[in-house]
A and B are shown apart, each in its own frame.
Chain A
Amino acid sequence: KAGVTQTPRYLIKTRGQQVTLSCSPISGHRSVSWYQQTPGQGLQFLFEYFSETQRNKGNFPGRFSGRQFSNSRSEMNVSTLELGDSALYLCASSPVRASGRSVLYEQYFGPGTRLTVT
């Protein structure tokens, strides 16, 4: 099975711009989560999508948004970029039980997109 893929791998943007990152989950995985990783704050949960709906959300401002398509692929958008948004953005996918519960021990991460805001 192919792993989680993220595009692009590297991105440079300037303050005030917006950016869209893409994630393709493992085939059959219906839950997609996004995380931000920085040296100062470590790894932080952004949000999770399931069935094209945002189901869980971390503590990030509304500038961070996402969506999921019917094929489970997901995009994350950051508007009005700030210098502090420079980070590694990780996407992870997991299967979901019939109960709707994500199988977190089968959550697989992609290699990430390195975003630099100048």
Chain B
Amino acid sequence: GESVGLHLPTLSVQEGDNSIINCAYSNSASDYFIWYKQESGKGPQFIIDIRSNMDKRQGQRVTVLLNKTVKHLSLQIAATQPGDSAVYFCAENMGSGGSNYKLTFGKGTLLTVNP
């Protein structure tokens, strides 16, 4: 499959464990954040989003935490499964609002789930 990046931070977990992937963002004015999952040979896939007026949002097996004080975003995956193995990206929206947007992506973290 396609290699999405070299020298990525990596996280290796055992199947069934919880995973926490971290991301530092750059612009304190960013108002919207998204986590994406990218499997080998595929384009990024939306996982979960959060607006800057929230500090936590939960989805199915995933939780995103936002700490605006230190400009930090994290993705927690509960009961990690082999199918969760992929590169995970955070993205921040640095647009001026309305129809203007400009997504800036983090470098990504490679998650490997060991059976």
List the interface of chain A (C-beta within 8 A of B): 4, 33, 37, 39-40, 42-45, 48, 50, 55-56, 58, 88, 90, 92, 96, 99-102, 104-112, 114
Chain B, 36-55, contact with A by CB distance < 8 Å: what is the 0/1 string? 00000111111001000000
In the complex, residue of chain A having the shortest beta-carbon distance to the beta carbon of B97: A101
B-chain residues with CB within 8 Å of residue A99 when the two chains form the complex: 98-99
Please report whether the interface of chain B is mostly helix, strand, loop or mixed according to DSSP.
Answer: loop
Q: Is the CB of B89 within 8 A of A43?
A: yes
B25 proximal to A (CB < 8 A): no
In the complex, residue of chain A having the shortest beta-carbon distance to the beta carbon of B94: A45
Q: Is the CB of A111 within 8 A of B5?
A: no
Chain B interface: which size bin? Answer: 20 to 34
**Quick one: which of A39, A48, A50, A104 contacts B34, CB cutoff 8 A?**
A104
B-chain residues with CB within 8 Å of residue A33 when the two chains form the complex: 103
B61 proximal to A (CB < 8 A): no
Q: Given A99-B99, A100-B98, A104-B34, verify A42-B43 contact (CB < 8 Å).
A: no
In the complex, residue of chain B having the shortest beta-carbon distance to the beta carbon of A40: B6
Q: Is the CB of B93 within 8 A of A92?
A: no
**Quick one: which of B2, B3, B101, B104 contacts A102, CB cutoff 8 A?**
B101
Q: How far is the CB of B87 from chain A (nearest CB, A)?
A: 10
Q: Is the CB of B98 within 8 A of A39?
A: no
In the complex, residue of chain A having the shortest beta-carbon distance to the beta carbon of B6: A39
Q: How far is the CB of A34 from chain B (nearest CB, A)?
A: 12
